[in-house]
Structure 1
Amino acid sequence: MATVSSGRHGGLLGGGGGPGSFGVLRRALRLLEAVDRRPEGVVLAELARELTMPVASVRLLAEELEAEGYLVHLDGVWALGGAFTLLGSQHREPMVRARLHHRLEELRDELGAAVYFSRYHDGELSVEAVSAAEHAPAVHEWADFRATAHASAIGKCLLAQLDHRARLDHLSRHPAARLTARTITRTDRLLHRLDRQPATVPVLDLQEYSMDTVCAAVPVVAGGTVGCLATSLPIAQAYRLREAAELLALRAAPLMLAMAV
């Protein structure tokens, strides 16, 4: 599996917005807003002053956004890129979906493991996109994912983002059934675990859904979306899960940005 390079990511952590993937997303959106206020273009030093960030950090962030088409660098100034020409039009949804699938394919190959993007909406869990391959097999859905949120990393990550009443409502419609010897079936114990789940720490499924698989999931917060990014590994590769989960958390910010804008 690819190793994590902390140098570039660390450079994006300077300035306000907080640590981790969510902080990177906030700084990226602040940078886009600052550029949007200057249709004639803006130099890097001016952006750094307005955002109260080091010039080097702003440059790295701007280059990341340029690679995605959100910014362009012409004649020494930064301006909004072509990716914004489709926003708000009837083409936005296909564009976002195509960008999402491309991101998932890249992450699958980097992790050497299947990856998933899921959402919780209208009271149900939905796996919106899966990227798997022969060398990175997807989880065998032997029990409906929608009814087994209590046992999967995806489900627990989504439920952790809901309030107490919404969690109880979900569990009343989908009672926690025992899928393996490791499945948590007591509602009070499950709710206690969800309450104690830090937002910045990946949620793990250690053979709670299937004895053949381990999984990890991290939240994807974009607007009103209750979503998550997840990965799975065969039990024979369980030793890789912690590293895969850490890399998943690092890579969540670009996906959140793609979904947010």
Structure 2
Amino acid sequence: MIGSVQRALRLLEAVGVHADGAPAKQLARETGLPLPTTYHLLRTLTHEGYLRRENGLFVFGEAAEAIGQAGARRRRRTHIAEALAMAGRELRAAVYFAVYREGEVDVVAVTDDPERPPVEEWVDFRATAHAHAIGQCLLAQLDDEARKEHLARYPVQSMTPFSVRTEDDLLQRLDTVRRGHVAYEQQEYALGTVCAAIPVQVGSAAAALAVSLPIHELHRLRTVTDQLRTMAEATLTTLAFSISI
């Protein structure tokens, strides 16, 4: 069975060399496989969606393309993580990158520095967008219909004594976020932590960069946020090209 897998992979590699596809006989020659074996494997790979046959030529199918896209996404996420780690060291803060897609808050990457640990997700970030700076920044970028639909699924609820209490309070907060292009939040999601998030341009999607600090460093929050904005404009704009939305 392992030998069959190896031979199938050799065929996929050979197909990948030919942008316009290649016939079975050519693939057999290039891989050194017997023609009957080549035909058998090509039929199997085609049946499973890894290849498709067009005018007698074999090209990658949707399944193979999906594998390639998944690998590309992992590489992009690694690139984002490295960019955030660099920002976190310079800012001496936990740094986050998040997007809003398919109706959900998706925290794509966050720094992992034990000296500056990120906020512990004690309640699902997706269900508590109203209570943290990332979510408020993303919700502020949505149109009225999308925001209303989100809050219908995830109603406003108090997470801490400092959280917004009602949907009306949240909507007023989001107006302030839109005007200032920044969301500040003090202990609304997690006690002992303050956060800020700024919108970033990533295609047509709502996205945000954010920082968090311990409460005793509240005095640094605005300065760190301004520095994050400068870094986003100068160097982290590559995020727009580093994630598939």
Q: What TM-score, normalized by structure 1, do the two folds share?
A: 0.62
Contact 2:130 2:156 in 1 (8 A): yes
Decide which of 106, 111, 122 is 1:126's aligned counterpart: 106
Higher helix share: 2
- What percentage of aligned pairs have identical amino acids? 43
Provide the C-alpha distance between the structure 1 equivalents of 2:230 and 2:217, rounded to a whole number of angstroms. Answer: 21
Provide the C-alpha distance between the structure 2 equivalents of 1:149 and 1:194, rounded to a whole number of angstroms. Answer: 11
Q: What TM-score, normalized by structure 2, do the two folds share?
A: 0.66
Deviation of residue 242 (structure 1)?
A: 1.1
Does the alignment pair 1:260 with 2:236? no
Provide the C-alpha distance between the structure 1 equivalents of 2:237 and 2:115, rounded to a whole number of angstroms. Answer: 26
Aligned 1:151-190 pairs, distance under 5 A: 151-190=131-170
SS in 2 for 1:150: helix
Decide which of 192, 197, 214 is 1:217's aligned counterpart: 197
Contact 1:149 1:155 in 2 (8 A): yes
Contact 1:150 1:190 in 2 (8 A): yes
Contact 2:140 2:178 in 1 (8 A): no
Greater Cα offset, 200-209 or 151-160: 200-209
- The 1:252/1:200 distance shift into structure 2, 3 A limit, reads farther
Structure 2: gaps spanning 5 or more residues: 1-67
Superposition CA RMSD, Å: 2.0
Deviation of residue 199 (structure 1)?
A: 5.8
Give the paired residue count: 174
Post-superposition CA distance 1:234-255 (Å, at most 9, x none): 1122111111111111112232
Structure 1: gaps spanning 5 or more residues: 1-87
Does the alignment pair 1:247 with 2:242? no
Instruction: Give, as a single letter, the amino acid of the residue that structure 2 aligns with 1:260.
Output: F
Decide which of 199, 208, 212 is 1:232's aligned counterpart: 212
Aligned 1:12-51 pairs, distance under 5 A: none
Larger Rg: 2
Provide the C-alpha distance between the structure 2 equivalents of 1:216 and 1:150, rounded to a whole number of angstroms. Answer: 13
